[in-house]
A and B are shown apart, each in its own frame.
Chain A
């Protein structure tokens, strides 16, 4: 691991004098850390080198955002940033683990059936009803629904098309900040993580947890499938948790030093 003193000097040179060579040296010095963290996630079907590249983005962000006066080591600050970037990569990429094609297809089919049956029955269908409509066993339905949790969302750069095409382009939502949630320092409060969400994600969470709308009601309002609402709710809560962990690690480390 690089020496802290050297880190501080390099960070100071970069932040105070704009020395990009110092920044490059820091990146090189911390590559083994990135590689070690990336290795933890390489079993999920992604090439290690790809994850190292993603992790490097987290490292660079950490170096760029690092506050020298905060009293924490760069390692402490960089680690959650690198992990956060890798997690975001899996979340944004789509299927985060290898899911058999048959299950992926069943998941898509169930999404359509869920919509149809909800309208037809005027209530949310049961698993046996979904299984019957799909012509498969209940266990297959459960497995396909569970596999759907591995599907996070379309990549930001993915072209529009398909079932979820009615969704807004995530890029359109970026940069829009709502101030309707109060920020709390309580560790269980997810509010601080709301900044990590785009406008649509915040809207969906608000409709579900403050307005008390059901998933199907939200699906109608937002104009996406019910199953996609489910995925967005889960993903949004995960993002917020990750964001809070990323924010809190350096603070906790700093506090423990006092």
Chain B
């Protein structure tokens, strides 16, 4: 994994686009496909805009890039709510677990100082980075 790239934004909808752009910039430098980028951005929006998971006035997005995966951590969040919703994937309900289960390979809650974070991992196997400045 590369050194994490951190973005701190106000926990308000107009700023979510900024986070999407940053993810897009990194995706471009890592030669991700349009569809992979879409998945990452939609996963990010699902967490940022979903059901008040982000509990602070600010929200941090942390991105780490490896040869075969991109990890995106978002926090601080209401970890209990996120965990409960992640685990609920039964039936035909379209909840957080099913959405993230489609968009990324792995999603898990991590306890950190100052609150819980959600770490999402997206596999980018088979993608050849054009530049290594990410």
Contact = CB atoms under 8 A, between A and B. Distances in A.
B1 interface: no
Q: What does DSSP make chain B's interface, helix, strand, loop or mixed?
A: helix
Interface of B: 17, 20-21, 24-25, 27-28, 31-38, 42, 45-46, 49-51, 81, 84-85, 88, 91-96, 98-99, 102, 127, 130
A244 B96 CA distance: 14
Nearest to B35: A124
B71 to A, nearest CB: 20
Contact of A182 (B20, B21, B27, B91): B91
Contact of A208 (B31, B50, B102, B127): B102
A99 to B, nearest CB: 12
What are the 3 closest A-B residue pairs judged by CB atoms, nearest first? A188-B85, A127-B28, A124-B33
Contacts of A212: 102
A84 interface: no
A115 B47 CA distance: 29
Interface residues of A, number: 45
Contacts of A214: 35
Nearest to A215: B35
A233 B20 CA distance: 16
A190 to B, nearest CB: 4
A29 to B, nearest CB: 30
Contact of A181 (B20, B42, B93): B93
A182 B95 CA distance: 11
Contact of B93 (A123, A131, A143, A182): A182
Contacts of B49: 238, 241
B81 to A, nearest CB: 7
Given A188-B50, A188-B95, A209-B94, A127 B34 contact: yes
B25 A142 contact: yes
Contacts of A233: 42
A134 interface: no
